[in-house]
Structure 1
Amino acid sequence: MIASLILPLLLQSAEPPVPSWNCEDPQVQQEMNWCAARDFEVADERLNAQWKETAAAMKARDESFVEYAGDDTREGYFESLLEAQRAWLRYRDAHCRLEGYYARGGSLEPLLVSTCKARLTRMRTDELRELVEDAA
């Protein structure tokens, strides 16, 4: 319980809380948990950067579509993207919480959750990138 309260504070810095920790070869559970959380944090930063690019591309598609839209009243590209992203975030968090339940209450649970979130976040970043590439 205390570790779950302290972990967010430790993640504010890219430096490990214990200088000997090495994410290339983590040796103890706390180190593994910290490294997995850091991996997710990096994946999330990349997702947020890609989100900005993809959102801008979808807004540009909306602007160029207006002249052809006629009486089309469906949601636009950006509105659909935003709806999908919100749903995806709910899915990712719930799915990864579920994966963590394999070690529910144990010291391995944070590792499972963070690893899952990092994996799904990298996949979503690729999906967002593909939307931009398809728009070009």
Structure 2
Amino acid sequence: MNRLVSLAVLLLAAPASAQTQTEMTISAGAAYAKADAAMTAQWKVTFARMKARDAADISRGGGFGYAAALLESQRAWLKFRDAQCVIEGGEVAGGSMQPMVIAACKADLTKQRTTQLHELEWRN
């Protein structure tokens, strides 16, 4: 099931308080802001862990480069997320749903990235 169909299902199940398109767009934006804050918090923890791993790894002459690789990965991921959500928003381009679809996409992908960052934190 594509994201647009998933979004339609979610909209049908939305609470009665989110009735107008503006309210639904604001709600999607708030969900994205919450997901982004959670990812930022996890990023700080995971990045600190990678820096510590680099500092502890003297066998490679100063560390493997976990922190640098994570930073590069995050920058690439941010570009991917934004571009992917533009594509998904294109399904309703020009319509009043477009900002909501983009925000919902960003929230979904950001939650997935938060999980990835958390998993990286605990790998050996």
TM-score of the superposition, structure 1-length normalised? 0.76
Tell me which structure has the larger Cα radius of gyration: 1
Residue of structure 2 in register with 1:56 after alignment: 48
The question of 1:82 aligning with 2:71 is answered: yes
Between the aligned residues of both structures, percent identity stands at: 45
Q: Whole-Å Cα distance in 2 between the matches of residues 110 and 27 of structure 1?
A: 16
Higher relative contact order (CA 8 A, sep 6+): 2
**Which digits, 9 at most, give the CA deviation of each residue in 1:5-37, with x for residues without a partner?**
xxxxxxxxxxxxxxxxxx744111000000000
Residue of structure 2 in register with 1:120 after alignment: 109
Matches within 5 A, 1:95-110: 95-110=84-99
Q: Whole-Å Cα distance in 2 between the matches of residues 71 and 102 of structure 1?
A: 48
RMSD, aligned CA: 1.6
Of the three residues 80, 100, 104, the one matched with 1:111 is: 100
- Number of positions where the alignment pairs a residue of Structure 1 with one of Structure 2: 110
Residue of structure 1 in register with 2:29 after alignment: 37
User: 5+ residue gaps in structure 1?
Assistant: 1-22
Residue of structure 2 in register with 1:68 after alignment: 59
Cα separation, partners in 2 of 1:30 and 1:76, compared to 1, 3 Å: same
Cα separation, partners in 2 of 1:99 and 1:63, compared to 1, 3 Å: same
Moved over 4 A (4+): none
* 2:122 partner SS: helix
**Which digits, 9 at most, give the CA deviation of each residue in 1:54-81, with x for residues without a partner?**
000000000011x201498xx6000000
